[in-house]
Each structure stands twice: as structure tokens, then as C-alpha cells.
Structure 1
Amino acid sequence: MSSTTRLRKLARRLECPVDEDGGYTNDRWTNRDLIPIPPDRRTYKIWSFCIYWFVSGACISAYSTGSSLLAYGLTAQQSMACVVIGAVITGLLSVVSGFPGEIHHIGFTVVSRMSWGMKGSYFPVCLRVFTSVWWFGIQSYWGGQAVNLMLGAMSPSWKHQPNKFSASSNITHQDFLGVVLWYLAYIPLVLVPPERLQRPFVLSSAAFGATLIGLLAWAVPTAGGGGPLFKTVNTASSTPYSMMLGITSILGSWGSGTIGQSDWVRYSERRYYPMLSQLFAAPLMITLCALVGVVVTSASSSILGEIIWSPIELLSAIQDYYNSTPGVRAAVFFAGLGCTCAQLSINVLLNSVSTGMDMAGLWPKYLNIRRGAYLLAAIGIASNPWQILASAATFLSVISGLGVFIAPMTGIMLADYIVLRRCHVKIEDLYNGSPSSIYWFKNGFHWRAIVAFVMGAWPFCPGFIMILIDPTATNAWVKLFNISFLVGLAIGFFVYLGICLVSPIPHQKEGLTYLDDERFCKNVSGEPSTPAVDENESEDKDRDIKGIETNALVREV
């Protein structure tokens, strides 16, 4: 047997599994996680999406975002105003960004092919993967700290061991071990299919909710109120622009979550189920969690004598403040368990599933959601999240900066799908990588989207670079950067519309405004159809013939 034959056999074994009689075959554009979700996998009800937003909105990042604004120099009232405004905008963006998933049951990876072209869609997908790598690293590091908090509660001697790592690394050996243990808990959770994650999310929500209630119940009565930060004056360099930075940081935090709403909304059992949760549960949960963070941070500062904007560091300080008494250690242990569960869920919810599907879109034959999630876990830790979290100013700068690139992408997607196409989609052409697809445009790229993205992103890049170098910079570029998400979204939206008015998109209203389930189910049952020919045919001709007979789902819907 030749080496070439062996490599081909190995490549076949490494290909993603295909459902028996699934009506599709893996190729450059298609696999199980990229096709429209069939009715039997649509398991999410209204309560499911409420739990989704409890996990997404009530987490350590939401808690820390609101309270880190205090460390940045805003008052508690100003911090909460930023959170409320940002949360409401997040809810509205989630509704409109989720329409493709709600109507056609496809995710962001496939939706981006409509506005960017079949090959051009790789750019927004790669950009979101890059963004998710940073967020996964941050969330994983917090998860490792939560695990280390539990270890320190069980053994105070472990907690107070001298750090064996250098101070410049900004991470202790205890936290590093916590990250390793957190990863061991995370890996099995990825094995659960997305449509069956509701119950783990419920348990996680209950655990972290109890942690928040416990912190609030300790801080406010002990401090005798909300604490001194509700009475202090603003210390940030420029109040209006500092508040805009706060709002931008909120939107930057959930930006990739809103643009990727279709990744989860596509699992909705019925249309309109996600809308109520997106409109009400999203702003409510984000605001309540951030409010708890602000109140607890403010109240605890009068007890402990310092502002601690991380709930994990706060719990560790509480244990030291009470000299590690047994009762306090038990409380800290269970609070750390709640934080650990929250970090497991938030990484699966906002990073692993969506990014796994994005990676699947880059190489569908060999990557699916599960494999992509493992790949994300392997490279996420390389982002050195402990360096990002070294100070409140740096943390805000990074998460705000990510919105510079996500915002115009969101504007382009909304303008294309909702305004221009009026929700018309030709499903089969989203999986047809040849010039016969209406989403092929010019050589697989859509120049209109590229121009709109550049116009929506470049004005904010100088300010982003400057604020990374010097977080205290206050020049005109930085002030423009502080409103990057809203302005970038608007620029991407209107520039794309303007270009398309001058140079209209061909076939922009071709297709259906719904997914024909009756036809869909018939094809899934195995009725053969003739698919469009992909530009990159498989080297194995026999498998190509079989694919022509079975790939009925995405070619004939």
C-alpha cells in the first residue's frame, strides 16, 4: 500500500461524522453543524432563551464590567447609566441579529456568505474567531481563578504559598493549576450537543445566582448601605467621553454575542420564542448582574478599605478578612463553585459553540462544533489573558477595541439581510461554491461589503492603538474611539446601503422568506436530488457520485 493511499485513508477517518440518511455530505461548504437545523433538533423554548441570557448576562464578565467602571473613575450612578444604556442596545441588536436563525435556522457562519460572498465570508468568520480567542482566554482564566479560590477555601496553606512564578508573568502557580483543573471540567461539557445544553445551563444559573445573592446579602448589611462610592465625585479625565467608553465597553463585551445570535436562535422550536428573552431578559440580566457588581464593590470598599472589582479576588479578600474561619471558608468554597460553573457555561455559550461553528465553516470536512471548540481551548490560553486583566483600564481598552471590528460587520449584516433582501434567502446557494450561486459575486468576494467594512473600521483604529499604548490618552482619535461601536455600526450599515443603491446587488430578493420544513423533511428522509456542483471537487470520484445522490438538504431546499 502506497503512502498516498494510506494518507487518503487516514484523511477519510478524520473527516467529520455524517448522520445516517441525513440528506447531506461533507464538502467545502457543508457539514452537520452548518446546515439549517432540522425540526427534530429545534428544542429551545421561551424559557430556554431566558436561561441563555441569564448565563450570558449574569456572569463574572458582566459583574466585572460594571464594577471596573468604578475603578476607571466613574461614579456608581454613571457606571449604572452606562450599563443600562448598553444593555438595552444589546437586547435590540440581539433581536434583529437573530432573524436569520429564527426564520431560516442558519447560523452566522452561513449568513455571512450572503453579504460577503462565498469566499469573502472567511474574513468575518476569521475575525470573530480571533475575537473569541481573546474572550475564551479571559473567561478561562477567571474560571481557573474560581477553581483556585475553592482550593484556597479548602486549604488556607495552599492559598498563602509563596508564588513560584515571576512577578512579571501576572499569574501565580496556584492560578495556573486552577486553569488546568478548570480545563479538565470544561472538556466533557463540550461533548454535550448544543440542543441539549438547557439543563446544564439551569444548574449553572442557579449556582452563580446564589453566589450573587450571597455577596449582596453580606456586603450591604455589613457596610450599612451601598457604600461610599455612591457619594464620590467623578475622577475620570472627561465625564462625557468616559461614559461613552463605558457604553462602548458594554457593547464590545456582548458585540460578538449579538452578531452571532443566529447560532443559538436557530435551535428555537417556534418563531418569536427568542424575541421576548432578547428584548427583556437580556437587558434585565446584564443590568442586574452589573448592578450587584457595583453595589457589592462599593459596599465592600468601606469594609475592606479598597476597591476590588473582581468577584473572585473579593471572595479571597473576604476569607482573609475573617481569618479563614470554617464558616467563611465554606461560604467562599460554594461561592467559588458558583463562579466556576458560570465560567464553564459562559465559555460554552458565547465562545465554544459559535466559534466551533465558525471553524467548521473554514474546513467543514474535518472540523465541526466539537472539534472547533477543542481547538479554541488549545489556542485560547496562548492569548495571555492575565496580562489583559492586569488593570481595569487595559481590560476596558481591549474589550472596547474588539467592538471596532464587530460593529461594522453587524451593520453590514443587518443592512443586507433585513433592508435589502427583506429576509429573502436562497438556501441552496449558500452551500454552492461555484459561480452559479447568487452569493458568489466576483470570484467569490463581495466588494461592497469589503468597502463598507473598511469605511466603518478605519476611523477608530488610531485611537484603539493609542489607548493600548497609553490608557490615559485623551486626544481626538481616542475620543472618536470611545464611541466606536455605535458609530461603526451606523457607518457600516449606511455605507453598505449607499453603495448598494448606486450599484444594486443582483438577485437581492431571490429566495424564500421562510424555511420550507415540509420540503426540508422530505429531503432529509432520503429523497435523492441533484445538487449544484462545488468548485472544489473531491479527489475521490466515487465519493463525489455518492455525494450527488445524498446531498439533498442544502442543494434542493
Structure 2
Amino acid sequence: MAVGLRSRFERVKEKVRLHGDEAQHEQTDQWSNRDLIPLPPSRRTWGWFHYYGFWTLSSLNITNWQTPSSFLTQGLSVPQSLAIIIIGRALIVAFSTLIAWCGLKWHIGFTIQNRYTWGLRASYIPLLQRILLNFIWNAIQCWNGGRLAAVCLTAIWPSFARMGNFLPESLPATGDQFIGFVVFWFLSTPLLWIRPEKFKTPFLFTTIYSALGMIAIMIWALSTAHGAGPLLSTGVALPEGSKWNVSWLLMAGINQTIGGITAGITNGSDFSRYARNWRAYLIGTITSGWITGILVCLVGLVTTSAAQKIYGEVFWNPPDLLMRMMENGEGSSAARAGVFFLAFGFGLTSMFENICGNAVAGGIDLAGLWPHYINIRRGAIITFIAAWVVQPWQLVNRAVTFIQVLSSFSVFLSPMIGLMAVDFYLLRGRKIRLSHLYSSKNSSYWYWNGVNWRAIVAWICGWVPTIGGLVVTINQDTNAPRALFELYFMAFFIGFFTSAAIFFGLNKLFPVAGMGEYDEVDIYGTFTAKEAEKLGIIPVEFQTDAYDSGEPSLAQETVERKE
């Protein structure tokens, strides 16, 4: 009987095991599967509009709409708040491009990119951090998206807003909030089956719909209020007794702006590797990641200001404003219809942003943990199911400080970005040996038992100076030393440059073999003939000719030497 169970288990195990097309170099083993190998030209389908749509998802959303509020409530003026947004988003585009270039040139993602810096085994350190963040942010995005779903349900059935709470009192959520979460989660699920190569249509639809919706609500607010309202004329009004001057608040605002999207910066290569060429990435990223992001903040500011004139109070959160516009479902049918389509646009953007930025990104990271059994789609499904385990209603409605900790996770991620940048550009001269990233045998990236201690030391040194500021900020300890807060206000830049400098120094003092080396042949069929020529690599076409002639190719010889 035991033998039969073991045999059945082996059959099930083999059935769920992933298998790639060996002819396309899609080997599946401890370090590799179809979604982890360098992407071949046939799978690089993203043009400039894909990246425009990708960045638009992080621009045309509730969070970006609300961005100016945090700066105005600290006492800064409207021009100063907009200056923070302009500078902050310019830095986001710059750092994102810096990290994404590895994917543009070598067509590998974050999961593989860290192997040559940390070592094949130690690369699980940044990987596990990203997986944890993907799990939690996916859950929180589903919960926030559920609020928009609740607005849509109220617009259709006004009685939904008056629903009695059927949940236990011990649960920090109401029945309508929970139903909205369930609806949003289930409607998002089918999007998990769309492969990143096929994202163009969803990008196109969500970009147009959401942009028109935001413009429509701004026009309505301006025409109803007969002007922009008083909020736009807000001047500098620092709280009485404030210990921070304008300069420090500007610095903290820039750090907060870039820190809020640090997780997205780290995985830039996950999506840049799908680019047809580097121009497509740059055009889409600059036009949307910078310009559109700034415009959305401006639209949110104008709409909120006009709405204040209409209702006599400030609504920074779009779901709250939409509910007020239809009088919590008691408004006219025309008002409810308009609100429904506006909320649907916001919700659609949140839905696909969550799928792309959290679920798919989480799927890629999970694939790096268990390549034998997890690909992007399976990993994305696991990430999405984890929303029920994380229980976002507990986090969002009860643990406000926990959300602040997540937003401040850039303290740990910015040093990681510093390592990635200095290693790729200064130490390796943008040259990588792809074949050594997928094998522990005779790999230059194995270091000591798969661990590059230099990376670990440099990473720790990057976040140690700012962790104190994070702790006192979370604890709201106003009596803590001023220096801790000042370091924390510059956490991203301190972490980035400290880790980068220390890692560079350690590599010069304790050099490692293989720096600047790369495969002389295109073993994985990764490059076009033009790319191979530019890199000085023998292209796959030449290797094919050698196979046809019966002579061993350089690729064969290289693999044989490696083995």
C-alpha cells in the first residue's frame, strides 16, 4: 500500500512539474524555467505604448491622486508640493531606468539579476523581501479596490450603503466593505491568465478609460464650482511650533515620493526585458512615468479644490468624493450613473495595476524560489490567493502603523538598488555571463557556497544609519534626537550611496574572479543578430549553421567546458 501511495505521489508530482521546450533553451531545473531564462526576441513584444500603459497604471490611480494632500497638510504651499512631485517623479524615472537597463541589454529580470551580485543562494535575501511585500501590497490593493467596488454597488443598488453589518464585532470591517473586497478580488482573478507579452490591450483600455474619467470629474467639479476653489491658493502655513523648516520638509517629501515606489524600481528589469528596444522603454517611461504622473497630481489637486468649494469640506480620497456626489446612493439616477462609470474607471486601473505590479511581479519572484513547479502564472495565483491569508481588513482598518512600516520599506530596498547599480555599471562594466547565472557548477557567481558576503555587509551598512529614524517615526517619538529624523528624511539617498560605495570598496579590496566576463556565444538564443554583433557575441544563426554542417559549434564547446 505504501508503495502504491508513493507511486501515486510521484505521478502527481510529475504532472504538476513544469516542462519547457528544450529546443528553445527552456530547461527546467533548480535555477531555471521558461519564465526565468533570458527572453528570446520572439517574446519581447513591448513597444513604447506598453511602457506608457505600464507607468500610467501607477499614475492614474487613487494613491497618486492623493499625493499632494500629504504635503499640504504638513504646511507646504501648492507650488512647493508640485515641485516635490516634479522632482520626485523625475528621480523615479531616472532610478528605474538605471536598474531596468540590465533587462534591456541582457533580457533577464530581478530574480536573476541579483544572482551575480549576491550569489546564487544569497539572492534569496532580496527575493524573499520582495515576495513578502508583493503578498501584503496585493492584499491591501484588493481591499482598497473593494471600496471602489462598493461605490459601484451603491450606485446600482442604493440600499447597499444602508446594509446592516453582518460581520462579528471582533472583525475590524463592515459588511459592505467585505463584500466590495470579495467582488473586487473575484473580478480581478481572470486577469491572472493574461501573460505579460499580451498586456497591450488591457493597458490601452485602462489608460483611455481612466484618463477620460479623471478629466471628466475635473471638468464637472470646475463647472459646478465655477472655478478652481480656494485650495489652489494655499500658501506656506507651517504648524505653530514646528521643528522643521521648509527645506527639510521638501527633502522629506522628495524622499517620501521616491520611497513609495522603491519596490517598483527594484523590479524594473522584470518588465524592461520584454522591450523590443531601449527606445521603446525610454519613450514610454518618460512620457507616462514623469509627465502623466505630474498631470494626475495636478488634476487631483484642482478637483479636490473645486469640490471643497461645492461641499464645504476637503475630499482627498476619490471613493469618499464619489459617495458624496451621489449622496450615498440617495442622489438622482443621473448622478448615480455618472458615479458608477467614474468609480468603475478608478477600480479598473487599481485592478490591473495590482495584477501587473503585485501579482505578476510576485509570480516572477516565486518562480525564482521553486523553478521546478512555479512559473509566472502559478506564482501570480499564489500571490493573489495569499490576500485571504494576509487578511487586509486587519491591516488597513486596525494597524495604521503597520502600513507606515510598509511604506517605509525603502529603508531596506534602496541599499539593494545601490548594490545593483554599482555592480552592473562600475564593477562589471555592464557585462554578464548568462550561462553562469543558471548553474552552480563552476559558476563565477557561486562565490562562497553561493553567498557573496560583500553584498550582505554593504546592504546592512546601507540601512543601519536610517533604521533608527524609521523606528522613532513609527512610534511617533517626538522627543527622539533630531539627527535620527534628519537621516530618515534622506533614507533613500543615504541607503543607495552608502551601500554602493561600501560594496565598491569591498570588491576592490577583496576582488572576485569573473568580473567583466561574458559568454562569447549566444547559448540561449537570446539576441538578435544586430544585438549579438554589438555585444561581440556569436549569434544563434552561426551556431545553427555549425549544427547543420555536423561540426561542433562554439556554443556546444562552451557548454561542454562548463559541464
Normalization by structure 1: what TM-score? Answer: 0.88
Q: Which deviates more, 268-277 or 181-190? A: 268-277
Tell me how far 1:381 sits from its aligned partner: 4.6
RMSD: 3.0
Deviations 1:148-203 (A, max 9, x none): 11000011111122434467755321121111111111111110110001101111
Tell me how far 1:396 sits from its aligned partner: 7.9
| In 1, Cα distance between equivalents of 2:416 and 2:14 | 35
Which of 265, 272, 285 is matched with 2:279 structurally? 272
Q: Write out aligned runs for 1:224-239 (5 A).
A: 224-232=226-234, 233-235=236-238, 237=242, 238=244, 239=246
Tell me how far 1:384 sits from its aligned partner: 4.7
Name 2:409's counterpart in structure 1: 402
The answer to whether the 8 A contact 2:66-2:300 is kept is yes
Q: Residue 25 of structure 1 aligns to which amino acid in structure 2?
A: Q
Which of 163, 176, 194 is matched with 1:161 structurally? 163
| In 1, Cα distance between equivalents of 2:401 and 2:224 | 31
Deviations 1:449-470 (A, max 9, x none): 1011101112222221222222
Residues 186 and 552 of structure 1: CA distance in aligned 2, closer, same or farther (over 3 Å): farther
The answer to whether the 8 A contact 1:33-1:368 is kept is yes
The answer to whether the 8 A contact 2:159-2:329 is kept is no
Q: Does 1:377 align with 2:384?
A: yes
The answer to whether the 8 A contact 1:67-1:293 is kept is no
Q: Write out aligned runs for 1:377-526 (5 A).
A: 377-386=384-393, 389=396, 397-434=404-441, 436-470=442-476, 475-476=481-482, 477-511=484-518, 516-517=527-528, 519-520=539-540
Q: Residue 161 of structure 1 aligns to which amino acid in structure 2?
A: M
| In 2, Cα distance between equivalents of 1:512 and 1:91 | 31
| In 2, Cα distance between equivalents of 1:524 and 1:147 | 54
The answer to whether the 8 A contact 2:158-2:328 is kept is no
Q: Residue 162 of structure 2 aligns to which amino acid in structure 1?
A: H
Tell me how far 1:323 sits from its aligned partner: 4.2
Name 1:188's counterpart in structure 2: 190
The answer to whether the 8 A contact 1:56-1:349 is kept is no
Name 2:359's counterpart in structure 1: 352
Q: Write out aligned runs for 1:140-289 (5 A).
A: 140-165=142-167, 169-232=171-234, 233-235=236-238, 237=242, 238=244, 239-289=246-296
The answer to whether the 8 A contact 1:245-1:400 is kept is no
Tell me how far 1:388 sits from its aligned partner: 5.4
| In 2, Cα distance between equivalents of 1:381 and 1:253 | 24
Q: Secondary structure at the match of 2:285?
A: helix
Tell me how far 1:395 sits from its aligned partner: 8.7
The answer to whether the 8 A contact 2:163-2:175 is kept is no
Identity value in percent: 31
Residues 400 and 344 of structure 1: CA distance in aligned 2, closer, same or farther (over 3 Å): closer
Name 2:553's counterpart in structure 1: none
Q: Does 1:99 align with 2:105?
A: no
| In 2, Cα distance between equivalents of 1:248 and 1:392 | 23
Q: Secondary structure at the match of 2:212?
A: helix
Q: Which deviates more, 352-361 or 240-249? A: 240-249
Name 2:535's counterpart in structure 1: none
| In 2, Cα distance between equivalents of 1:309 and 1:395 | 22
| In 1, Cα distance between equivalents of 2:299 and 2:47 | 28
The answer to whether the 8 A contact 1:60-1:342 is kept is no
| In 2, Cα distance between equivalents of 1:341 and 1:468 | 32
Q: Residue 234 of structure 1 aligns to which amino acid in structure 2?
A: A
Q: Residue 135 of structure 1 aligns to which amino acid in structure 2?
A: W
| In 2, Cα distance between equivalents of 1:165 and 1:62 | 32
The answer to whether the 8 A contact 2:104-2:273 is kept is yes
Gaps of at least 5 residues in structure 2 are: 530-538, 551-555
Q: Residue 172 of structure 1 aligns to which amino acid in structure 2?
A: T
| In 1, Cα distance between equivalents of 2:527 and 2:426 | 22
Name 1:292's counterpart in structure 2: 299
Which of 315, 319, 322 is matched with 1:312 structurally? 319
| In 2, Cα distance between equivalents of 1:450 and 1:45 | 36
Q: Residue 125 of structure 1 aligns to which amino acid in structure 2?
A: L
| In 2, Cα distance between equivalents of 1:462 and 1:224 | 48
Q: Secondary structure at the match of 2:378?
A: helix
Normalization by structure 2: what TM-score? Answer: 0.87
Determine which structure has more spread, i.e. the larger CA radius of gyration.
2
Q: How many residues align?
A: 534
Gaps of at least 5 residues in structure 1 are: 530-548
Residues 266 and 431 of structure 1: CA distance in aligned 2, closer, same or farther (over 3 Å): same
Residues 466 and 291 of structure 1: CA distance in aligned 2, closer, same or farther (over 3 Å): same
| In 1, Cα distance between equivalents of 2:486 and 2:400 | 15
Deviations 1:73-110 (A, max 9, x none): 54433322221111000011121111111001110100
Q: Secondary structure at the match of 1:2?
A: helix
Q: Which deviates more, 40-49 or 234-243? A: 234-243
Tell me how far 1:208 sits from its aligned partner: 1.3
